[in-house]
Structure 1
Amino acid sequence: MGGKGSGRPARSDIYLTLDTQIEELWLRLGGLPTPDEAADIWDDIWTAEAHHSTAIEGNTLVIKQVEQLLKEGRAVGGKALKEYNEVKGYADAATWVYREGIQPSSFSPGSIITLHEIRNIHQLVMQPVWDVAPHPDAGGDEGPGSFRRHEIAQFSSGMKPPSWTLIDAEIRGWVDRANKLKARGEQFPEEIAQLHRDFEYIHPFLDGNGRTGRLVLNLLLVRSYYPPAIIYKGDRSKYLKALARADNGDVGALGEFIARAILQNLHQFIVPAVAGPSKIVPLAALANGEASSTTLRVAANRGRLKAHKGPDGQWRSSRKWVDEYLTSRVKR
């Protein structure tokens, strides 16, 4: 996992970078914007997440179809109704997660998450799908929001979820552990990765555990004052391998994966949208089609781009300074 000669920072360095940049988010930008303050930011996030999280499970809608469905209410492309409902259900659940994470309408003091909220997320995710294509093996008491009453076969990774008779005790124990999660701890990424792995191991529902688990992960993140993590469909293999390693007791790869996903979301969606042209932000948040983050880093190292290098080794600049650099580059 990194180290000398690997070309990649060690996990501890990724965690330090994450902690430093979250601290900067709070000091410079005032923390995560509320849904009312920055609706466009959250719309972009849950549109991307609805697409990628359902695609990980096999949904074939492309991002343009997802955007039209969620922003215009139009189902285009001739796909099965179930696929549109998968995306719509996920997006509705993500909207609830982000709004309740930042501006909760009802929140239990001293709790990060409740059992009722987990069941509610699953109900929001799965009800639209269930309305058109209910699980063929489901009993009358196994619908959206209800725990499974079936045994689950061993997965290809070798992991075997617990018997359905143990679900209630297992998930209540999981909630207790989740509510002991401490934000900004040195090993926060690995601690939340362990919680994510354990949720998927418990597999509390007959169907929709992956989608529900990723939304539950993001509710924990947002309530711990971190941006949500989008797991992109192109990273599906890395994600599943990291989960498999966590099943075998090594949660480090999954912790690093989640830390990187949080940072990518921070740079791609949040910082560019809330930082004005003179705000000093990480170079990754200033990259665009004209200049990649690597190009900007090289320019900063050579003194061609006004930038500051922090104690964490990260270069920071502003949109104004990047525009000045790009203009000077054209003139040369």
Structure 2
Amino acid sequence: MAGFGALQSLEPLKPEDARRLAKKFRLEFNYNSNHIEGNTLTYGQTQLLLIYGKSSGDVPLSDLQEMKAHDVALAQIQEMAREHDRPLTEQFIKELNKTILVESFWKEAITPDGQTTHRKIEIGVYKAQPNSVRLKNGELHEYTSPGDTPAKMHELMDWYHEQQGKLHPVQLAAEFHYRFVCIHPFDDGNGRVARLVMNYILYRHNYPPVIIKSNDKEQYLTALQRADTGDVTAIIEYVERQMIWSLDISVKAAQGESIDELEDVDKEIAILKREKLTAATLYKTPKVAFQLINHIQNDIWG
């Protein structure tokens, strides 16, 4: 990819540029990957939690724990990617699932005949019960059966190790993501683990992470569904488009340019509106919000 060559020509980044780029990707990946799955933390609350170790607003404790656990998993894939002598294994993937879910819990589920039930979610082990998803058209899409899951995961790992060095890293990461989602090997956390391993593969090949934006969820799911019909290029091209964004942000950081986006400001404005800027709540707002206020003041009175 053209952007990758441009980034390589600018490496190594200055320490301060590397730090702000890492922070940007850390917040974007943690926020979006969890928000896609229903986590209620806003971008600003995610920043407040992960960067400043604080929380604000009426946020479920489980969502805070989930976000912090996902951040730990992100650090795990980054560390693993740096250790080139350690191959990707099923055990590591199971550890990622255990990390993000923290502990076993009960969750609402759907039986094969479409009935609602509750079942215990076991972490770090392959599923013992069937799992499925209700599609837009009302059909129930069944993933790989529990009995076939271990063999399918073995096949996936064999495929991955065979294709390393043959497929372009972005294609390898995208296809692995899709094949993993097709299996859905765990009781819960499959989407997050799929995106974590996808980015592990990219990190290992010195690419920046791909961020699947929560506001682009429909396009993401559409690409996966098109792949289900045999058009695997749909998900590959989707991931490639997201990589263009990541490379663009990386090049800007390497050149010392701003990597704040308009939507970042929109996120902070939403926080300010929700908090209503009262004296009692100002201290809860992320530092970026104070910078935003200063910019507004400068525009009006400067």
Verify same fold: TM over 0.5.
yes
Counterparts in 2 of 1:216-231, with a 5 A limit?
216-231=197-212
Partner of 1:305: none
Q: Are 2:55 and 1:80 equivalent residues in the alignment?
A: no
Counterparts in 2 of 1:246-261, with a 5 A limit?
246-261=227-242
* 8 Å Cα contact 2:10-2:251 kept in structure 1: no
Structure 2 CA distance for aligned equivalents of residues 272 and 154 of structure 1:
39
The Cα shift of 1:53 comes to: 0.8
Partner of 1:43: 23
Structure 1 CA distance for aligned equivalents of residues 186 and 14 of structure 2:
31
Residue type of the partner of 1:114? T
CA offsets, 1:203-255, max 9 Å, x none?
11000101111101111111122211000011100000000001111012211
The Cα shift of 1:40 comes to: 3.5
* 8 Å Cα contact 1:35-1:98 kept in structure 2: no
| CA RMSD, 1 decimal | 2.8
Structure 2 counterpart of 1:241, from 218, 222, 235: 222
Partner of 2:9: 27
Partner of 1:58: 38
Residue type of the partner of 1:153? S
Structure 1 CA distance for aligned equivalents of residues 231 and 24 of structure 2:
33
| 1:288 to 1:248, Cα distance in 2 relative to 1, 3 A | closer
Partner of 1:144: 123
Partner of 1:197: 178
Partner of 2:79: 99
Partner of 2:252: 272
* 8 Å Cα contact 1:246-1:252 kept in structure 2: yes
| 1:122 to 1:70, Cα distance in 2 relative to 1, 3 A | same
Structure 1 CA distance for aligned equivalents of residues 55 and 9 of structure 2:
42
Structure 2 CA distance for aligned equivalents of residues 122 and 34 of structure 1:
34
* 8 Å Cα contact 1:221-1:227 kept in structure 2: yes
The Cα shift of 1:275 comes to: 2.6
Partner of 2:290: none
Report the 3-state secondary structure (helix = DSSP H, G, I; strand = E; otherwise coil) of the residue aligned with 1:75: coil
Residue type of the partner of 1:236? K
TM-score using structure 2 length: 0.74
Structure 1 CA distance for aligned equivalents of residues 260 and 186 of structure 2:
41
Structure 1 unaligned regions, length at least 5: 1-18, 278-284, 290-332
Report the 3-state secondary structure (helix = DSSP H, G, I; strand = E; otherwise coil) of the residue aligned with 2:148: helix
Structure 2 CA distance for aligned equivalents of residues 205 and 80 of structure 1:
24
Residue type of the partner of 1:201? C
Residue type of the partner of 1:202? I
Structure 2 CA distance for aligned equivalents of residues 24 and 216 of structure 1:
25
* 8 Å Cα contact 1:35-1:42 kept in structure 2: no
Report the 3-state secondary structure (helix = DSSP H, G, I; strand = E; otherwise coil) of the residue aligned with 2:162: coil
Counterparts in 2 of 1:147-158, with a 5 A limit?
147-153=126-132, 155-156=134-135
Alignment length (residue pairs): 250
Report the 3-state secondary structure (helix = DSSP H, G, I; strand = E; otherwise coil) of the residue aligned with 1:220: helix
TM-score using structure 1 length: 0.67
* 8 Å Cα contact 1:190-1:251 kept in structure 2: no
The Cα shift of 1:176 comes to: 1.2
Structure 1 CA distance for aligned equivalents of residues 212 and 15 of structure 2:
21
Residue type of the partner of 1:252? T
Residue type of the partner of 2:206? Y
The Cα shift of 1:45 comes to: 0.8
| 1:276 to 1:77, Cα distance in 2 relative to 1, 3 A | closer
* 8 Å Cα contact 2:177-2:194 kept in structure 1: yes
Structure 2 CA distance for aligned equivalents of residues 52 and 286 of structure 1:
17
Q: Answer 1 or 2: which has greater helix percent.
A: 2
CA offsets, 1:239-273, max 9 Å, x none?
000000011110122111101111211222x2222
The Cα shift of 1:182 comes to: 3.7
The Cα shift of 1:190 comes to: 4.1
